[in-house]
A and B are shown apart, each in its own frame.
Chain A
Amino acid sequence: MKRRLAGLALLPATAVTAGAATHTLSVEAALLLVAFGLLIVLPFVPGLIEVWRPRDRYPLPVDMNYTKDPRYLGRSARALLAAALRDDQGPPGRRTVTLSKVEAVEVHDRLDVSAGANLTAIQLARGAMVVGDRATCDRDIYARAGARIGEGAVLRSLACDGRAALGRGVTIARWLDVEGDAHVGPQSDLGASAAAAGFLELADGVTFERLWGSPVRTTGYLGPRELPAAPAPFALPDVLEIRDIEDLASLHRGDLVVGPGETFDRPLVVKGDLRIETDAVVDRTVKVYGDLTLEPGARLLGDAFVEGAVIVGEGAAVRGCVFSQDSVELRRGARVGTPGLVKTVVGKHSVTLAGDVAVHGYVLTDGRGSVRCRGSD
């Protein structure tokens, strides 16, 4: 044992006397033990400090009031501003309020922003609002009546209680929320969210992430289109002897083409691509592992859950939701949903809308959303 420890000594074993060697060895052994002990204890030290003086002992934050609301940003901003101003009926002018931080609010009976102006405070118009071409505002704007935004204006966010018209090339950095109808001019960028209680009409070249409207529609919209009678929503058969998936949903391995006249009495799961041919009708929900293509005039009366890309061809229609883990392209004349029902289009990587497209409800993408009225159709 001593020989082995000597081998670990910094000094050559032959260079020390027997007594000195014993002393050196015991010191070395002690040092070794201390070092070993430190290596064992050291990883626990930060944890012991955290136990003794906790800095992170609270539960992960869960928002107990969270619900999905596409108009949350606009509603919340209005509520915050209303609470801060407490029904202020005073004369127009500048106020200082505390929102998430201390902010200046400029109150107007009617707001006319001249072309090229640069606004740095929150703007509240009790009446209508007109923002001139190329004007900018790096704080929220709230109009309690209609709003007209000039070409090339750059706004942080806009809430409007009447109708809104955005000119060509307007940029909304964060969100747009309109109580009435909204027209969005060509080449505009709608930021993270754009919502309208009425219709939300988008011109060519508009880019977006989230849209909400009744309906969301694109330039050239020709009105709602009749769909064949829909199946009862979400009806599972009242059969308790079911044993496997083929009793509740038809499972098809590989690609599938559905022609006119073919019908399904249960939801359809396709492990490849699914193509619904021109004028064919699928009256149930489909789950597709590949791509889904609705040829021109095809109808899908249920929902579409798709791992690949979705193309809804010219004049084709989906009564239910369209959910794609890849991309969604709605070509000229395509319809999703029907008036009076709320449905959703989700395309994880992109959503592309052509002219005369309508979605009754919600459109969302984590990637790029765009309107292409020319070229793609």
Chain B
Amino acid sequence: MVVLILKLYVLLVVLIMAIYATRHYRFTVNRLVGEQRLYYQDLIDSELPRISVLVPMHDEEKVARQSLEAILRCEYPRELLEIIPINDHSTDRTAAILDEMAAGHDVIKPLHRHEGQRGKPAALNDALLVAFADVIIVFDADYLPARGSLRDLAISFKDPEVGAVMGRVVPVNTRANLLTRLLDLERSGGYQVDQQARHNLHLMPQYGGTVGGFRRDLALSFGGFDQRVLAEDTDLTYRLFINGWKVVYANRVECFEEVPETWEVRSRQIRRWSRGHNYVMFKHFGGLLRSPYLTRAEKLDGLLLLTIYLVPVFLLTGILDSVALFFLGEMQIIDSVLVFLFVATYNSFGNFAPFYQIGTASLLDGVTHRIRLLPFLMFYFLMNIWTITHGFFQALGDRFWRRKRAEWDKTKRFRKEAPV
């Protein structure tokens, strides 16, 4: 009986891998030869919405000034714009930098937080209460938007169904080391192919929490950001879709970010994402399936996106399962091709889909030499299996113990000088 269960589990894992492989293949084909839906960046309209730009910051003295200067360079009518950098319990010079910047620019209105819970969701919640605009645009502290970014993001809210918008993130510190180059490849696949294809196919593009925006009233109507959630962006994405709103993806709105330069920092970051994303999975699984506003295709895509940080857990347990079967002498019953299949499927087409999505993204971006690094993603992939699984069990603990708050693990900055 136990052996039968173990064998069935291996087959289940193979099936899951095949489903994700099909999904990524579909996205890749769409980007290469499919119909591409336009985003709203070409709309020129003299009636723009008022916007509040929020920039959560905790100990961001290395990047705060450059980020705010980049936002100030953006073209947007000043009477319709306010910039709220949120000093979230900083202990370095962040507060002083924000006050200096505010003294020289009326549109900068710092919000200093010294009490209450630290973390992005709590910081955003406080800022939402003082923001003057209907449309909220969010940048992380290390982000450097281009001059047209604010207009190109804000224009999407003319569409009455758009609840949130997401731009494209481009790593700026690719020259640092192999890890940053691998993260650059991963980002390319994730945005240039995955997000754009979901936009094209009327599926569920994801609001990523930065280089993006949302309607303030909607966020407040949901009770603000859930402070138990470490993936407040994914949480908002699902709340919006489940309640009938859409998220649109703006591939042309590109913004530089700094990616982690050490494996340790990256590992902590992805563990936090996994913990947050899996918490959201527990939270919205039922609501997604029951929503009267979503099509079947949206629900299926939403489900696959919702469980994407569960896949490495399946894979790891599937590998352990197959090892157990091997030592039980039962592997000859399961066709070994299947075992090969699920490993190869994931490596080739699965969650990180290097040879499909990332290769295609590099092709579309017109950069070719960097695809030589694709095999190195294998090491990155091995790290991810472990850290994501760890994050999953943390999320399980959060859910089981009904934790009311989660500790926010800030990503370390590496910037030494202005990158652009």
User: Is the Cβ of B43 less than 8 Å from the Cβ of A62?
Assistant: no
In the assembled complex, B41 has its CB within 8 A of some CB on chain A: yes
Please indicate the chain A residues that have their CB under 8 angstroms from the CB of B40 in the complex. Answer: 323
User: Is the Cβ of B174 less than 8 Å from the Cβ of A66?
Assistant: no
Please indicate the chain B residues that have their CB under 8 angstroms from the CB of A325 in the complex. Answer: 37-38
User: Is the Cβ of B188 less than 8 Å from the Cβ of A60?
Assistant: yes
Least CB separation from A345: chain B residue: B43
Least CB separation from A44: chain B residue: B375
User: Is the Cβ of B367 less than 8 Å from the Cβ of A56?
Assistant: yes
In the assembled complex, B12 has its CB within 8 A of some CB on chain A: no
In the assembled complex, B416 has its CB within 8 A of some CB on chain A: no
In the assembled complex, A241 has its CB within 8 A of some CB on chain B: yes
Please indicate the chain B residues that have their CB under 8 angstroms from the CB of A239 in the complex. Answer: 217
Residue in contact with B181 in the complex, picked from A57, A236, A343, CB distance below 8 Å: A57
Residue in contact with B158 in the complex, picked from A62, A65, A321, A348, CB distance below 8 Å: A321
Q: In the complex the two chains form, what is the Cα distance from A249 to B240 in whole Å?
A: 14
Please indicate the chain A residues that have their CB under 8 angstroms from the CB of B41 in the complex. Answer: 68
Q: Can you list, as one digit per residue, whether each of A251-271 has a CB less than 8 Å from chain B (1) or not (0)?
A: 100000000000000011100
Q: In the complex the two chains form, what is the Cα distance from A43 to B355 in whole Å?
A: 13
User: Is the Cβ of B43 less than 8 Å from the Cβ of A346?
Assistant: yes
Please indicate the chain B residues that have their CB under 8 angstroms from the CB of A43 in the complex. Answer: 375
In the assembled complex, B44 has its CB within 8 A of some CB on chain A: yes
In the assembled complex, B256 has its CB within 8 A of some CB on chain A: yes
In the assembled complex, A63 has its CB within 8 A of some CB on chain B: yes
User: Is the Cβ of B174 less than 8 Å from the Cβ of A51?
Assistant: no
Among the stretches B55-63, B81-89, B142-150, B394-402, the one at the interface with A is B142-150
Please indicate the chain B residues that have their CB under 8 angstroms from the CB of A242 in the complex. Answer: 217-218, 221
Please indicate the chain B residues that have their CB under 8 angstroms from the CB of A249 in the complex. Answer: 160-161
User: Is the Cβ of B44 less than 8 Å from the Cβ of A342?
Assistant: yes
User: Is the Cβ of B38 less than 8 Å from the Cβ of A343?
Assistant: no
Please indicate the chain B residues that have their CB under 8 angstroms from the CB of A267 in the complex. Answer: 160
Q: In the complex the two chains form, what is the Cα distance from A52 to B369 in whole Å?
A: 13
Question: How many of B's residues come within 8 Å of A, CB to CB?
Answer: 60
Shortest B71–chain A CB gap in Å is 12
Please indicate the chain A residues that have their CB under 8 angstroms from the CB of B174 in the complex. Answer: 57-59
Most buried by A among B42, B244, B293: B42
Least CB separation from A286: chain B residue: B160
Q: In the complex the two chains form, what is the Cα distance from A57 to B177 in whole Å?
A: 9
Q: In the complex the two chains form, what is the Cα distance from A237 to B42 in whole Å?
A: 27
Please indicate the chain B residues that have their CB under 8 angstroms from the CB of A18 in the complex. Answer: none
Total A-B residue pairs with C-beta atoms closer than 8 Å?
Answer: 162
Among the stretches A20-28, A169-177, A272-280, A360-368, the one at the interface with B is A360-368
User: Is the Cβ of B148 less than 8 Å from the Cβ of A234?
Assistant: no
Please indicate the chain A residues that have their CB under 8 angstroms from the CB of B293 in the complex. Answer: 244-245, 251
Q: In the complex the two chains form, what is the Cα distance from A267 to B157 in whole Å?
A: 12
Q: Can you list, as one digit per residue, whether each of B178-190 has a CB less than 8 Å from chain A (1) or not (0)?
A: 1001001000100
Q: Can you list, as one digit per residue, whether each of A227-240 has a CB less than 8 Å from chain B (1) or not (0)?
A: 00000011011111
Shortest B51–chain A CB gap in Å is 11
Q: In the complex the two chains form, what is the Cα distance from A60 to B218 in whole Å?
A: 34
User: Is the Cβ of A64 less than 8 Å from the Cβ of B160?
Assistant: no
In the assembled complex, B264 has its CB within 8 A of some CB on chain A: no
Shortest B243–chain A CB gap in Å is 5
Q: Can you list, as one digit per residue, whether each of B69-88 has a CB less than 8 Å from chain A (1) or not (0)?
A: 01001010000000000000
Shortest A346–chain B CB gap in Å is 6
User: Is the Cβ of B146 less than 8 Å from the Cβ of A65?
Assistant: yes
User: Is the Cβ of A361 less than 8 Å from the Cβ of B217?
Assistant: no
Please indicate the chain A residues that have their CB under 8 angstroms from the CB of B38 in the complex. Answer: 323, 325, 346, 348, 366
Please indicate the chain A residues that have their CB under 8 angstroms from the CB of B369 in the complex. Answer: 50, 55-56
Question: How many of A's residues come within 8 Å of B, CB to CB?
Answer: 61
In the assembled complex, A303 has its CB within 8 A of some CB on chain B: yes
Please indicate the chain B residues that have their CB under 8 angstroms from the CB of A366 in the complex. Answer: 38
Q: Can you list, as one digit per residue, whether each of B363-393 has a CB less than 8 Å from chain A (1) or not (0)?
A: 0010111101111100000000000000000
User: Is the Cβ of A57 less than 8 Å from the Cβ of B161?
Assistant: no
Please indicate the chain B residues that have their CB under 8 angstroms from the CB of A268 in the complex. Answer: 160
User: Is the Cβ of A341 less than 8 Å from the Cβ of B365?
Assistant: no
User: Is the Cβ of B160 less than 8 Å from the Cβ of A70?
Assistant: no
Please indicate the chain B residues that have their CB under 8 angstroms from the CB of A57 in the complex. Answer: 174-175, 181, 370
User: Is the Cβ of B45 less than 8 Å from the Cβ of A60?
Assistant: no
A44-B376, A245-B244, A344-B43 known; A59-B221 Cβ under 8 A? no
Q: In the complex the two chains form, what is the Cα distance from A176 to B146 in whole Å?
A: 27
Q: Can you list, as one digit per residue, whether each of B230-254 has a CB less than 8 Å from chain A (1) or not (0)?
A: 0000000000000111000000001
Shortest A254–chain B CB gap in Å is 14
Please indicate the chain B residues that have their CB under 8 angstroms from the CB of A64 in the complex. Answer: 70, 73, 144, 146-147, 420
Most buried by A among B38, B48, B134, B245: B38
Q: In the complex the two chains form, what is the Cα distance from A251 to B217 in whole Å?
A: 18
Residue in contact with A60 in the complex, picked from B161, B175, B367, CB distance below 8 Å: B367
Please indicate the chain B residues that have their CB under 8 angstroms from the CB of A46 in the complex. Answer: 372
A50-B373, A59-B172, A325-B37 known; A245-B42 Cβ under 8 A? no
Please indicate the chain A residues that have their CB under 8 angstroms from the CB of B47 in the complex. Answer: 233-234, 320, 341
Shortest A328–chain B CB gap in Å is 12
Shortest B252–chain A CB gap in Å is 9
Most buried by A among B43, B144, B221, B373: B43
Within 8 A of B (CB), among A199-251: 233-234, 236-246, 248-249, 251
Beyond the given A64-B144, A323-B40, please list 11 additional residue pairs across the A-B interface where CB-CB is below 8 A.
A47-B372, A56-B370, A57-B370, A59-B171, A62-B170, A234-B47, A243-B243, A245-B244, A251-B244, A285-B159, A320-B47
9 pairs, CB–CB < 8 Å, chain A vs chain B: A43-B375, A50-B370, A51-B373, A62-B420, A63-B146, A240-B221, A244-B243, A245-B244, A343-B46
Question: Which residues of A come within 8 Å of B, CB atoms?
Answer: 43-44, 46-47, 49-51, 54-60, 62-68, 70, 233-234, 236-246, 248-249, 251, 267-269, 284-287, 303, 305, 320-321, 323, 325, 341-344, 346, 348, 361-362, 364, 366
| 10 nearest CB pairs, A to B | A245-B244, A267-B160, A56-B369, A67-B148, A46-B372, A233-B47, A342-B46, A50-B372, A56-B370, A43-B375
